[in-house]
Structure formats: C-alpha cells, structure tokens
Amino acid sequence: MSQETLSNLLQENRRFAPPPELAASANVTAQTYEEAAADRLGFWERQAERLTWAKPWNEVLDWSNPPFAKWFVGGELNVAYNCVDRHVEAGLGDRVAYHWEGEPGDTRTLTYADLQREVAKAANALLELGVRKGDRVAIYLPMIPELPISMLACARIGATHSVVFAGFSAEALRTRIADAQAKVVITADGQNRRGKHAALKPTVDDAVASTPDVEHVLVVRRTGQEVAHHERDVWWHDLVERQSTEHTAEPHDAEHPLYILYTSGTTGKPKGILHTSGGYLTQVAYTHHAVFDLKPETDVYWCSADIGWVTGHSYIVYGPLANGATSVIYEGTPDTPHQGRWWEIIEKYKVTLFYTAPTAIRTFMKWGEEIPARHDLSSLRLIGSVGEPINPEAYVWYRERIGAGRCPVVDTWWQTETGGIMVSPLPGVTEGKPGAAMRPLPGIVADVVDDQGQSVPNGGGGFLVVKEPWPSMLRTIWGDDERYVKTYWSRFEGMYFAGDGAKKDDDGDFWLLGRVDDVMLVSGHNISTTEVESALVSHPKVAEAAVTGATDPVTGQAIVAFVIPRGNAGADVDGEEFVAELRDHVAKTLGPIAKPRQIMVVPELPKTRSGKIMRRLLRDVAENRSLGDVTTLTDSSVMDLISTKLPSAKSED
C-alpha cells in the first residue's frame, strides 16, 4: 500500500454487550443486516410500507442519472397525514405526541388529536395567506409547539419549509430567505433564553427589509414583548386561531420537495440542502424505530437538539411522529434555572430514550457528576449521541453517570445531507465500543477508502464514503445542481464523500475521526484531531479538548491543544506541571508522534451555534494570525477569553 491516509493511533478495549432484556425484544435483529445486503432495494421497499401511501410506487429507485436519485418513483403520500392523521384514524388520538416544557416552567401537552387540529388550522391559515403547493416558507421560531406545527402545516399543503435556527443573525436569515425565495416567514415576538426574553421579531424585520419575495410575516406571541408592526405582519393568534380544524390532506409525489435546510458546516457559503418526501420519511421512520428500539406504546423519547438543525427535523419531528411516538420538547437552555434542568425533565416525564450531543455531554462532565446524581434517571433504557465524534471517555461517563451503567449508548453518524442515521450500533445486536459508530445500518452501503478510493483493510484509516444511494439522501443543493455534484460526488468516482475521516478497527468497525480539513500533517503522518482530543479527554482532569495543527518549521505542522479542566480538577490546573502531565499522557496513550507541542488551558472553546468546535479559529490563534470569520460562533467573546489567556499566541500586528 502507498502512504497511509490517516494514522490509527487510539486503542480502546472496553466492550459493552447489549442488555439481555433489550436484545430479547429488540425491534431489529442481526439477521436484518443479511436480509438488507441480499436485496437492498427490497429491504427499503419493506421499510416504505411502514408509511401510508395514497398511491403505490412503480419503481423503488431510479438511479439512471446519478447523482440525482429518485426513490419510490410514481408513489404519492402526504407527509403530515403520515405523521399525524393516520394515528388518530387508528384510534391513537389520545396518545401524547409532545410533552412541551417551556424554559420558565410553563407546559403544554399535545395529543395526536390536538396536533391534527392545530396542523389543520395552520395549513388553512397558510392557504389564506396565499401559500400554495411548491411555495417556500421560512420558519424562524424558538422551540415552541408552533414550530413543528408550522412544519407539518407546510408539508400538508405541499409548501417547502426552510427552518432557520432562531439564534442566527438577520444577515444569515436574510441570505437564507433570499436563496429560497420564501413567500412567508413564520416567527415569534421573542424567545426565552437563560431566564431572559430575547427578541426575534426585530431580526426578522431587518432581514425582510431587503427580501422582496416575502409577502407576509406570521408572528407567534411567545414572550409578550413589544414588537414593531408592519403591514405585512399578521399575528398567529388572530389568523390561525379562527381557522377551521378540518383540512383534507392531498397526496404529493414521493419526490416532492419537503424542506430545504441550510448548512454552512464550519466554513463556506451556506448550502440549501434539499430533502424530498417518500424516501426521507421512510428512512427517518425506520432508523428511529431501529436505532432507538422505539416501542411507541410505552417509550417516552427526548432528543435535546434544536429543531432548527437536521437532528430536530428528523428525530424530533418527522421520524418520531411517523412512528406515533411520545416525545418531549424543551424550549430552553440546560442551565436555566439550574444546571440540573435536563435531568429534572427526564425525571418528570420518565424519559426512556434520550438523544443528545457530545458537546452537551462534555459540558455536563465539566459541571460535575453530582448534578445528574441528584435526579432519578432510572426510567432511561437507551441513550444516544450525535453531532461529533464522542470521545471514549465522554461515552463512558455518559453510559455510567446518565445511563447508570445499564443503558446502551448509540453513537449515530450522519449529516444534514444524509437526512437520516447512516452508521450506528443496533442496540439489541451490537456490542458497543466507546468512541465507535460501529457499522453502516442495514440498507446502507458505506466504507472507508484511501485517497485512491480503494477500500482500506481493517486497521486502516481514510475517508468515509457512501457507495450506494439511500432513501433520505439529499437530492441536490437548492438551485445549484453543479455545486451538488462538485461538493459531494467528485472526490471519488461514483461515491458520495461526506468530508469525514474515519478508520476501521481490527474487527472492521468504523471510528469517525473528524472532518478531513482538520487532519494534521505532523512529520509525514496524518494525525486526526479527534484521536488527540480523545487522549486528552481520557485524562481525569480534562473535560473538553480541541486540537489543531499549527505551522511548524521542523515538523510541518505541530499539534496545539486547548483544554478545559473538569469542575473538580482543583486549583493546580493552570501551572506548567499540569501541561507537562497532559503532554506525557498523550504521548503514552497515542505514541510520541502525537505529543502536543503546546497545550493551553482555557475556560471556553469557540463553537458553532450547533455546538461544533471551530478548529479553524484556534488555528488562527495558534499561528498568531488575526481571526478569520467569527460570524457563525455562538459567542464571539470566547475568542477574547482565549486570546487573553495566551500571551505567547497574541498577534504581533
């Protein structure tokens, strides 16, 4: 073999077998892998039968014009009908769809029958505003029930929604509204954030001042704060409340555009990722059933993500509702009014299935294990992770401190572009390894390849690719087919390349190693930031770590690390001794090649609004450069905090 693509340094020998009770009644068994491999399209066809179709498809997959896929060709269905009405028709109208919990402690319970009425009213309201099938509607709402209701109302009438996370700026909102040419924007006066009212409407006013396509702004009253009134504005309580609770859902084509969701990743102009109807709903319903082992009669499921991200679209709204699940939605932040709020919610609603992100888990590690320990989390039976590689230490902390050592952890790899989970353990089948996303799900053909596109042997590292189309794949980038082809399908002939580095361990299981743009080239070795971060986090005094490569005259790039100590780490974490101890710890764990040149102890790390560490900015700091674009940061003041901590890294200019 030529030069290794990505080093495989981290060794991890802990193993966790599925709990026997879970395995005994698991929704999906080992046999499914073989069935799906033997007849992939037949497998997906059977999964599509979970849904109610108004007209059956005549072809499962049309891949005659790659990479433009069509799934369930000729089939027709209504996504909102599948998520709501059919459960009511099946006699489940009284089942709770959402237990909603506001940050100030107000609550709302929506049964499937309630949801049906609310969605019908909202659909009728959109029609009254002139929204028609094929139009785009931008949604800029906090985590309140009107958010999923608005999405479902769009789906119902065949309007394509574009949800924009309610933390984005006016400029980010404006470019997204303009790119999608949205006709209506749905927003709120404000939202509850950390015990305060944060305004939203002025941001929308700003954004739509220069978006001529917007005809109306529909405004939910949430906080009651003052808002400016423009002629295009309509209050939700004036318009929606007086609508009929009846609306007949018409079927739409399987390939009808369901939504656009903009993703910027950590760099670049946002891409409008387009998802369609039948294939998308099939895969999110199936994976929610399979990966979470959902038993809709008894489970209470909570995904802590914001609906403004794809995780919320697929695993708060479409997947769980298609499956008739009971879910929790929480409006606010995890530390309001105290750092145990999430655990209080799990205790209150007796949550059985919980899905969150490594960034949250590492924050809880930093706050200390005594906080979750004060709550009764015994209802939990399975816990999941998504969004970033989960470091083995964070996985084990999550399993023990939240999952009481009993709950399997499912580390799920996927992307805005993939629409649904692609690589993940199956909780009743897979022996879990801390830090590994394990195997492609049944029906998914993914691999790790070298820079020539050749499959790497076990023990090797390279690029994660998907080799066959899958039902919930993005169909294109909105308005830019060429960019779609170029971004995802041109690196390796005939394969979808996701941008992530990965390795196969000796058993052939997959470990995600972070974005390939983040890989460091140190003395001729490609070293993954994830592995070095995991080694740092495995030190008992480290809660979180971010690693980047800085130019180095000797080694090409040198490893520079930023670490946040754990809450209980003591006072000596600022000294040189601590840094020396950490450098040695990494050298011992991964080998001397991975020893960081420099380690800085910091109070916070720069993160995107969805919680991913922005290593690019840390590289700027490490290379003494002035900072690049910080507009996607959650809180740009963390960069000041970091820079003042680092006399050596201060810019000269």
> How far apart are the C-alpha atoms of 286 and 45, rounded to whole Å?
11
Q: Is the dihedral of CA 497, 256, 141, 302 positive or negative?
A: negative
Q: Which residues lie closer than 8 Å to 221 by C-beta, 6 or more apart?
A: 188, 189, 235, 236, 237
Task: Closer to ligand WT7 by CB, 114 or 388: give it.
Answer: 388
Per CB under 6 A, does 500 bind ligand WT7?
yes
Known binding residue 632? Answer is: no
Site map 54..93 versus ligand WT7, x via CB under 6 A: ----------------------------------------
Per CB under 6 A, does 386 bind ligand WT7?
yes
Task: Closer to ligand WT7 by CB, 389 or 442: give it.
Answer: 389
Distance in Å, CB of 491 to ligand WT7, minimum: 14
Site map 429..458 versus ligand WT7, x via CB under 6 A: --------x---------------------
- Number of shown-chain residues binding ligand WT7 (CB under 6 A): 21
Known binding residue 539? Answer is: yes
Known binding residue 457? Answer is: no
CA distances (Å), origin 507, targets 33, 239, 449, 503, 651 = 16, 58, 16, 11, 46
> How far apart are the C-alpha atoms of 286 and 279, rounded to whole Å?
11
Per CB under 6 A, does 416 bind ligand WT7?
yes
Known binding residue 412? Answer is: yes
Distance in Å, CB of 388 to ligand WT7, minimum: 5
> How far apart are the C-alpha atoms of 255 and 69, rounded to whole Å?
9
> How far apart are the C-alpha atoms of 310 and 380, rounded to whole Å?
24
Known binding residue 179? Answer is: no
Per CB under 6 A, does 627 bind ligand WT7?
no
Q: Is the dihedral of CA 360, 362, 364, 366 positive or negative?
A: negative
| Residue 402 DSSP one-character state | I
Distance in Å, CB of 421 to ligand WT7, minimum: 8
Residue numbers 583-622 binding ligand WT7 by CB under 6 A: 610
Task: Closer to ligand WT7 by CB, 82 or 610: give it.
Answer: 610
* Three-class SS state of 462: strand
> How far apart are the C-alpha atoms of 643 and 653, rounded to whole Å?
14
Task: Closer to ligand WT7 by CB, 276 or 412: give it.
Answer: 412
Task: Closer to ligand WT7 by CB, 346 or 386: give it.
Answer: 386
Known binding residue 592? Answer is: no
Joined tokens for residue 138: 């931008």
Of the candidate spans 64-72, 79-87, 305-313, 341-349, the one that interacts with ligand WT7 by CB under 6 A turns out to be 305-313
Q: Which of 388, 447, 450, 533 touches ligand WT7 by CB under 6 A?
A: 388
Of the candidate spans 4-12, 87-95, 373-381, 406-414, the one that interacts with ligand WT7 by CB under 6 A turns out to be 406-414
Q: Which of 310, 328, 519, 522 touches ligand WT7 by CB under 6 A?
A: 310
Task: Closer to ligand WT7 by CB, 124 or 610: give it.
Answer: 610
Site map 508..537 versus ligand WT7, x via CB under 6 A: ----x--x----------------------
3-state SS, 37-74, equals HHCHHHHHHHHHCCCCCCECCCEEEEEEECCEEEEEEC
Helix 615-622 and helix 637-645, axial crossing angle in degrees, nearest 10: 30
> How far apart are the C-alpha atoms of 189 and 142, rounded to whole Å?
10
Task: Closer to ligand WT7 by CB, 76 or 500: give it.
Answer: 500
Task: Closer to ligand WT7 by CB, 430 or 610: give it.
Answer: 610
Task: Closer to ligand WT7 by CB, 255 or 500: give it.
Answer: 500
Distance in Å, CB of 236 to ligand WT7, minimum: 29
CA distances (Å), origin 34, targets 43, 201, 402, 440 = 10, 52, 33, 12
Known binding residue 415? Answer is: yes
Distance in Å, CB of 526 to ligand WT7, minimum: 16
**Extended strands (E) in 126-254:** 136-140, 160-163, 184-188, 190-193, 196-199, 216-220, 233-235, 252-253
Is residue 72 a contact partner of residue 60, using CB atoms and an 8 Å limit?
yes
Looking from the CA of 348 toward its CB, the CA atoms found within 13 Å total: 16
Known binding residue 194? Answer is: yes
Annotated binding site for CoA: 193-196, 311, 523
- State the residues that interact with ligand WT7 by CB under 6 A: 263, 309-311, 386-389, 411-416, 437, 498-500, 512, 515, 610
